[in-house]
Structure 1
Amino acid sequence: MNHAARRVQSVYFTLLIGNTLAASFIWGVNTLFLLDAGLSNLEAFAANAFFSIGMVLFEVPTGVVADTLGRRVSYLLGTVTLAVTTLLYYWLWVVEAPFWGWAVVSVLLGLGFTFFSGATEAWLVDALTATGYTGSLERVFGRGLALSGAAMFIGSIAGGVIAQASNLGVPFLVRAAILIVMFVVAAVLMRDLGFTPAGRAHPLRATKQVFQSSLRYGLGRPSVRYVMFASFFTSGVGFYVFYALQPYLVELWGDAEAYSIAGLAAAILSGAQIVGGLCAPWVRRRFHRRTTTILLSLVVSSAVLLALGFTRSFWLALVLLVLWGLVDAAAGPVQQAYLNDMIPSAQRATVLSFDSLLGSTGGAVIQPVLGRSADLWGYPGSLIVSSGFQVLAVPFLWLSRRQRSPADVATGVADEGRESDDATGVPPID
Structure 2
Amino acid sequence: MTGTTEALGGSAAADNAARSVARPFYVYAVLTNTLFQRGVFVLFLQQRGFSAEQVALLQTLLYLVSGLAELPTGVIADRIGRRASIVIGQMLIAGCLLGQVAFSDYWVFLALFIGQGVGMACVSGSDTALLYDLLVRRGATAGYVKIKSRFTMLGTVTSGAAIVLGGQLQQISWGVVYVGSAACLALGAVWGSDLGEGRWRAGRGW
Paired with 2:56 and 2:175, the residues of 1 have a C-alpha distance of 18
Paired with 1:152 and 1:134, the residues of 2 have a C-alpha distance of 27
Paired residue secondary structure (1:26)? coil
Q: How far off its partner does 1:116 sit?
A: 0.5
Q: How far off its partner does 1:190 sit?
A: 4.0
Residue number in structure 2 paired with 1:214: none
Paired residue secondary structure (1:135)? helix
Residue number in structure 2 paired with 1:173: 179
Paired with 2:142 and 2:183, the residues of 1 have a C-alpha distance of 36
Paired residue secondary structure (2:174)? coil
Residue number in structure 1 paired with 2:78: 67
Gaps of 5+ in 2: 1-13, 198-206
RMSD: 1.9
Asked if the contact 1:162–1:171 (Cα under 8 Å) also holds between the matched residues in 2, the reply is: yes
- Pairing 1:36–2:42 present: no
Residue number in structure 2 paired with 1:4: 17
Asked if the contact 1:72–1:190 (Cα under 8 Å) also holds between the matched residues in 2, the reply is: no
- Pairing 1:13–2:26 present: yes
Q: How far off its partner does 1:169 sit?
A: 3.8
CA displacement, residues 129-168 of structure 1 (integer Å, 9 cap, x when unaligned): 222224364422221122112312331222111102x133
Paired residue secondary structure (1:25)? coil
Match of 1:186 among 187, 192, 197: 192
Match of 2:161 among 144, 148, 154: 154
Q: Which has the higher contact order (CA 8 A, sep 6+)?
A: 2
Report matched runs for 1:292-303 at 5 Å. Answer: none
Q: Which residue type is aligned with residue 84 of structure 2?
A: V
Paired with 1:56 and 1:144, the residues of 2 have a C-alpha distance of 22
Aligned length: 184
Percentage of pairs with the same residue? 27
Residue number in structure 1 paired with 2:116: 109
CA displacement, residues 293-320 of structure 1 (integer Å, 9 cap, x when unaligned): xxxxxxxxxxxxxxxxxxxxxxxxxxxx
Paired with 2:69 and 2:141, the residues of 1 have a C-alpha distance of 33
Question: Which structure: larger Rg?
Answer: 1
* Aligned CA distance change for structure 1 residues 190 and 132 (closer, same or farther; 3 Å): closer
Question: Normalization by structure 1: what TM-score?
Answer: 0.40
Asked if the contact 1:52–1:107 (Cα under 8 Å) also holds between the matched residues in 2, the reply is: no
* Aligned CA distance change for structure 1 residues 25 and 103 (closer, same or farther; 3 Å): same
Question: Normalization by structure 2: what TM-score?
Answer: 0.80
Paired residue secondary structure (1:2)? helix
- Pairing 1:97–2:105 present: yes
Paired residue secondary structure (2:61)? helix
Q: How far off its partner does 1:105 sit?
A: 1.1
